A and B are shown apart, each in its own frame.
Chain A
């Protein structure tokens, strides 16, 4: 039981990270119907910017942890957002309205380019980070002396995820920006005709996705302590799986899918074999798609002729 609880906590932490990345996929897919293949690499860039900002703060002598965290969070968000914006502007916008696979190929190109650019600029070796937030709470100890521990870092990750999700839901459902996004999602031409700046709305969507990916990047840096230029591919693939699992285009679905993928991975690694955890993730994706092709929370698709 204690072991189960511990894995539940670990799975939820991992799931929060996947969920935050998955939102970027699902929003972009919802609004322009493309798989933003480079999104995983945007997440990787967020992680790198976090590490570098920590180093800069260290060089400046700022060691007060809460202040450092806030500064790193802001810097990672801002600079990663610029990356997200630029990628859309350079690689996707000129392809709007061309056939379906063109933006995807362009995105794969961007993904390869970003990975290799970071490899050249930052080196191929893994970057280790010392733990910034240490310690944790022991929830209880069971009869076999097994401690169920939730670290302060895990609390930080989960709380930050909940706060971001709340803010995000507010933006999408209550603000004029959110209304514009939903309008573009339903009918881009019509939204343009009634005065929505479609290009800017799409840009904003990419920026929002990149900001969340940057937060996820910071979380991974803190939680695992090592990053390299290749982390974007697998994390991106899994987050996209999460988005599909939850029903692509649906924001709560993306978060739910992320948490499910995180839990599946944690429990599979704990009770079965760690080597095959990716196989389990994709296997479950296939099963869900066979029995519920629109994902868990996706709306049934209406076919128009």
Chain B
């Protein structure tokens, strides 16, 4: 172990030591060989109802060689990079921070212009998915980034919102625009019910209880067949309307006839995109305003030092509860949008992986950074689309990327975190 550290440290101290680097790479390759021996080289394959062994020594040798080369390159690069101690990203983060309003407006302009410039079905579809994740990320950012509460079951609120619209619309035929606020209220209500008993607890207990809650919601959705449709979910959810005007072919009372244009299915997709764009933008504006209110200040103060807050007369449970409920509310909005867009909901969409993805967006982006959420959501949604041909390896790469980014930049991509307000502002030169 001790040699390992020296070998890694040596290149940073001066000249590049090829011998030590080769030795270190050799060790990494050896460990990789041991790891791969039982699971990669040997495969327990199903032959009918029995298992049999399949040998794949070639795969093992490829893996060992890849680890050897990869480790060697890593040492080579880390030796070079030491000189410019993360300078680029820090400066980048600061530059972004100083021009936040400008970048926000530019981003919004791109968002609004996208369907005009690029009215392609597929592109708009992906952009809508991306905006859903941005909105979820911003919602969770209130809970995790601002209030510092670790929520591993955020998808439960998303599910509550989705099922609220799905059930109310199919049972009572209410319109999306009526149910949308209701879905938010329901989700916030669930947030309060869950949060009230557990928010007094320490952070890690909160993590496990929220994780458990996410699972409970999913188990109930699967098993309460009469109410939720069970594993088959609910289908035939009424599609979105333009404030009452449906998007379909017809001469009377439809979106196309009202505006005197020809009907095209892409109209609905573009409208959906604008709806989520507006919802997400509202989430962002709301959060930005909240940060300037006493309760928002209290969130950040609680994140930094709970004991100090209590001694100043802030009630931690109520403040946390408000963050939790508001985060849940935005999850509920996003959920009802999800179900109106897909026209179908099932428990499959609300697994733990989904919670992990949303949490990853918040943390990879840099906790508390609204722009970081957008960048991380871009990585998480767009990159898997780009690498569709590697379908099989997609989640493996996603998991590895999550780990690598964390190890590379532990504070997130945009790790420029400053309290919104300071008693004594820092000098500009500092």
Contact = CB atoms under 8 A, between A and B. Distances in A.
B401 interface: yes
A132 interface: no
B147 interface: no
A276 B217 CA distance: 11
Interface in B183-207: 197-198, 200-205, 207
B1 interface: yes
Given A105-B406, A127-B46, A279 B356 contact: no
B235 interface: no
Nearest to B144: A101
Interface in A272-305: 273, 275-276, 278-279, 281-283, 285-286, 289-290, 293, 301, 303, 305
Nearest to B220: A279
Nearest to A97: B410
A45 B207 CA distance: 24
A55 to B, nearest CB: 5
Interface residues on A, range: 35 or more
B400 A113 contact: yes
B399 to A, nearest CB: 3
Contacts of B112: none
Interface of A is mostly: helix
A102 interface: yes
Interface string A23-40: 000000100000100000
Given A35-B204, A59-B53, A109-B399, 6 more contacts: A90-B403, A109-B402, A109-B406, A112-B356, A120-B392, A283-B216
Interface of A: 29, 35, 45, 48-49, 51-53, 55-56, 59, 75, 79, 82-83, 86, 90-91, 94-95, 98-106, 108-118, 120-123, 125, 127-130, 199-200, 203, 233, 237, 240-241, 244, 248, 273, 275-276, 278-279, 281-283, 285-286, 289-290, 293, 301, 303, 305
Interface of B: 1, 31, 34-35, 37-40, 42-46, 49-53, 59, 144, 150, 197-198, 200-205, 207-209, 211-213, 215-216, 219-220, 222-223, 307, 352-353, 356, 359-360, 363-364, 367, 392-393, 395-396, 398-404, 406-407, 410-411
22 contacts: A52-B38, A55-B51, A75-B38, A86-B35, A90-B403, A91-B403, A91-B406, A95-B407, A102-B406, A109-B399, A111-B399, A112-B399, A114-B399, A116-B399, A122-B39, A128-B46, A240-B208, A248-B204, A273-B223, A281-B212, A289-B205, A293-B202
